[in-house]
């Protein structure tokens, strides 16, 4: 099982919507590194839902319930189905820019690897 971080603007799609719907297709991703992360998702993986804008924080947890597949609306993208698992209360703020720049500079890693490290740190913080 792998852990991922899914970033969303709460005005576009929020943890409230995921909680209400219980399940969603995570689509509309255009960033090449984020698309690669979605392509790596497998059923059973866990996803931290990160709200950007306003209070930028990890606000919830979801489970990947389908392997990734091509996005039918965009051949350059990919989608996966997420199922709501719960909220992170209180939300955990992360300054991704600072963490990414610091770890990326010190460890010379790409963004996907840095986000993996952030997710691992966050998991241990929850445990």
* Domains along the sequence of the chain with CATH: 3-95 (3.10.590.10)
Q: Which residues pair with 4 in a beta bridge?
A: 47
Q: How many Å apart are CA 124 and CA 35, to the nearest integer?
A: 26
For the entire predicted model, the pTM comes to: 0.75
- pLDDT mean over 99-127: 52
Whether pLDDT at 22 is above 60 = yes
Q: Which residues pair with 49 in a beta bridge?
A: 6, 60
Helix (H) or strand (E) holding 69: strand 69-71
Helix (H) or strand (E) holding 1: none
Whether pLDDT at 121 is above 60 = no
- 102 in helix, strand or coil? helix
The pLDDT, as a whole number, for residue 91 is 85
Q: How many Å apart are CA 52 and CA 94, to the nearest integer?
A: 10
């Amino acid at each position: 099982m792998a852990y991922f971080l899914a970033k969303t603007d709460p005005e576009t799609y929020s943890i409230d919507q995921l909680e209400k719907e219980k399940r969603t297709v995570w689509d509309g991703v255009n960033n090449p590194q984020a698309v690669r992360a979605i392509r790596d998702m497998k059923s059973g993986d866990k996803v931290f839902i990160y709200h950007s804008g306003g209070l930028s924080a990890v606000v919830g947890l979801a489970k990947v319930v389908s392997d990734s597949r091509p996005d039918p609306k965009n051949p350059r993208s990919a989608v996966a189905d997420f199922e709501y698992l719960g909220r992170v209360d209180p939300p955990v703020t992360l300054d991704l820019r600072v963490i990414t720049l610091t770890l990326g500079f010190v460890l010379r890693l790409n963004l996907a690897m840095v986000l993996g490290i952030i997710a691992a740190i966050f998991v241990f913080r929850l445990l």
